[in-house]
Each structure stands twice: as structure tokens, then as C-alpha cells.
Amino acid sequence: MNRLVRGRWCSALRLGLWTCLLLPDLLSARIISVGPQGEFQHIAQAAESAQDGDIVEISAGVYSADVAVWRQKRLTLQGVGGRPVLIAAGHSAEAKAIWVLKHGDFTIRNIEFRGSRVPDGNGAGIRFERGRLQVRDCVFEDNQNGILTGNYADSELSIEDSTFALAPHQSDPLPHLLYVGQIASVRIQGSRFQRGYLGHLVKSRARRSELRYNLIHDGRQGQASYELDFPNGGWVTLVGNIIEHGAGSANPALIAYGAEGHVWPQNRLEMAHNTLINDGWLPAWFVRTWASSFPAGFEFNSYNNLWVGLGFFSSGLEGRSVGNARTWAGALHEPAALDFRLSGSSGLRQRSVVPDEALLPAAEFMLPVGVRPIPGPRTWAPGAVQTAAPP
């Protein structure tokens, strides 16, 4: 069975079990409508009225200065009839964010968050303080932080098919498109990060960080620092990501691991089938690790990654580094159009190895956001894209 299919089947099974356990609550859940023809005209009114287990449906439209604090223990919030756009317009909930999620199990779908600013410089589209949060098909643009989490070690964050972009031009504090604190886990799939400014595109202090099949591409107009930053280490898995370092960055590193020392008992960096691109004229540090920050036994395992352009990466660490390949931007089909396929005649395909099954890609990123499943090829190519371009 295809790994992606098997994973989705297992997820569906877990969802079914949870549905059975929660069936009494689901049967009693209300649907609360927000919009011109809805039960409430304003989102803040729905936040005050909603009870645990409710579903809040927000009609498409623009909601300006309509900020909210959500205190429920379990809630689904989703856009309907199109994607509603929430614009901060100088307002914030608790001087933190457009939405503040206090402590619960939240699912958010099809919502756009724009323009969050607060006096301390850390305004977020969503401030996720504690619990579990699932975000799908959402957009975060022009916020000091797209999502900013708390630091509770039992919290979990999952992001799918979402866009984070357009960091505001500020330098104190630095804006990050996504800032994950010291929580249990963050998992990101099929999402897109672009056009940072001085801060990082993704910064995670989580115990477990897993990124699969994402486009993390600062672009010609971007001026981000690191594309990915894991300052406290932890167990980090990167599979099938396209990670581009723009020429406008003043920092030479794409991926940074352990710059501020470790806080978690298990520290491991594993990468497979990622495409890392340096678009600058100066050499980049594709992966920089601060191994001295960690106890003995820290491993950096790297399989079948494709390094494009000038650069180097940390070496001399425990672990394996096999099947990786270097090439130039000319070997990619049309990177300016975000087409990162290798030529079908590329000899690089013969250099790959088969890593552990957990690190084999089961999908590819698909524009504009999302993933497409891929069958296991006869031979694996290095990099994130297995689909070959015409010779």
C-alpha cells in the first residue's frame, strides 16, 4: 500500500474512533453562522456565544477590526462560500493577535488573516496559547507573526495546505512567518512560505518538528534570514521540501539547527529528498549545525538531498550522509516559474540510495498549495521532485 494512502487510511481510522467517542457531543453541536445574513454580524459576538463542540461558519467577505478571543475547549472555525478575510486594521485581541486561542482543541479551515500589529511587535494572525490546533487551507499575510504559539510542552500544532507570506518591514523584534515555541510537536505539509524580512520563514523550538512536501521559497523580493531555524534542536524531520535562499538575504544559512543550545532530551536532524537552492552569488551554508550545543550522540542523517548553487553544509557529525548530489540551477527545468523538476535524462537519478521507509517521499508539493501522491519510482532521484521534466 502506498505510504501516503496508508497514512491517510490510518488518519481516517483514528478520526472514526474519535467520532464514535465524541458522537454525543457532535449530535448536540450547534452551527453558528457569522456574516451579513448570519446569526451574528460580527466574529467577536460568535466568540462570546459559542460553546464547546460548536462549529462556527464565517461567510466570505472582509471583516475589519473584528478580533476575538476563543476560550472554548473544543471548536471548529471555518470559512464558507469563499474565504473570509480578517484584517486587523490596528485592532487586536488582548494586544496579541487577530485571534487568540486560549486552551483547547481547535480546527481552523479556509480563513485569511492580515495586518496584525501590536505594541510589543509580536502581533500574530493567530496566537495559539495551549492545546491542539489544526490549520488547513488558510492564509497569513503581512502579520508580525503568522502564527505564534505559547511554550506549553503538551501543545500540538498541525498545518496543511496553507500560505504564509509578506513579513512586514520591521527590525525590532524580527518578524517571522511562523514562530513555534517549546511545544510537543509541529507538523507542516503542503504549505508555502515566501517573502520574509530579516526574521525567519519558519522558526520552531518544538520537541518534534516534521516538515514534508512544502515550498519554502523566499523569492526575489524576499529578505529573510534563515529559511528554517531550529534554535533548540529537538527531533527534526525534513522530507520532500523545496527550500530556496533568496539573493536578498544577509544571512548565508538556509537551515540552522541548535544555535541557542538544547532543551530536549532527544536531538536528531534527519533530511531526505529535499531540494535546497542558493540563488545568491556568494556561497551559502545549506545546513549549519551547532553540534557542540548537544550531548554526545547527536545525529545528522542526510539522504538524497539536492544542493543547487554555491554552498556547503556541516560535516564531521555522527550519522549518515549518502546519496546527496550537487548541481546548478541550469539543471532544473524552470525554477523561475517554480518548476524544480530535473531533466528526464539527468544522470543524478542513478546516484540516489533508498533511505529508511519513514524518510521515503510519498508525495510532492503541488502549486499553489497542497500535495500530490507519487508512486515509488524504479529509481529515486535526489531532491524533492521525482516527476521528471522532458529531456
pLDDT digits (tens, 9 = 90+) for 94-110: 999 999 999 999 999 99
* pLDDT value, residue 42: 98
Percent of the chain with pLDDT over 70: 90
Strands 332-334 and 185-189: what pairing? unpaired
* pLDDT value, residue 17: 60
Higher pLDDT, 107 or 293: 107
Distance of CA 96 to the CA centre of its chain: 21
The answer to whether 93 and 116 are in contact (CB under 8 A) is no
CB-count burial class (<10 Å; 0-12, 13-18, 19+) for 323: buried
pLDDT over 80 at 48, yes or no? yes
Query: Model confidence at 163, in pLDDT bands (50, 70, 90)?
Result: very high
pLDDT-wise least confident of 15-29, 75-89, 248-262:
15-29
Q: How many angstroms separate the CA atoms of 290 and 272, rounded? A: 20
- The single residue listed with the C-alpha cell 507570506 is 165
pLDDT over 90 at 293, yes or no? no
As a whole number, the mean pLDDT across the chain is 91
Higher pLDDT, 91 or 24: 91
Higher pLDDT, 181 or 290: 181
pLDDT in tens, 5-31: 555 555 555 556 655 655 555 556 799
User: What is the chain's percent helix, strand, coil content, to nearest 5?
Assistant: 15, 40, 45
Among 171, 206, 192, CA closest to 244: 192
Give the start-end residues of each E strand in 190-317.
192-194, 202-204, 208-212, 215-217, 228-230, 235-239, 242-245, 253-257, 268-272, 275-278, 284-289, 299-303, 306-308, 311-313
Query: For residue 97, what are the β-bridge partners?
Result: 93, 124
Among 252, 259, 258, 191, CA closest to 226: 252
The answer to whether 112 and 86 are in contact (CB under 8 A) is yes
Buried b (16+ CB within 10 A) or exposed e, 39-77: ebebbbbbbeebeebbbbbbbebebeebbbbbebebbbb
Q: 3-class SS at 196?
A: coil
Torsion of CA 251, 212, 220, 231, to 10 degrees: -20
User: For the residues 305-319, what does the mean pLDDT come to?
Assistant: 82
- What is the chain's alpha carbon radius of gyration, rounded to the nearest angstrom? 21
Higher pLDDT, 169 or 220: 169
Kindly state the DSSP code that residue 53 receives in the 8-state scheme.
Answer: T
| Residue type, position 353, single letter | V
pLDDT over 80 at 4, yes or no? no
pLDDT over 80 at 377, yes or no? no
* pLDDT value, residue 292: 84
| Residue type, position 235, single letter | W
* pLDDT value, residue 313: 77
Q: How many angstroms separate the CA atoms of 177 and 195, rounded? A: 9
* pLDDT value, residue 28: 63
User: For the residues 316-329, what does the mean pLDDT come to?
Assistant: 84
What are the grid coordinates assigned to 153, written together?
A: 510542552
Query: Model confidence at 308, in pLDDT bands (50, 70, 90)?
Result: very high
pLDDT over 90 at 273, yes or no? yes
pLDDT-wise least confident of 170-179, 283-292, 349-358:
349-358
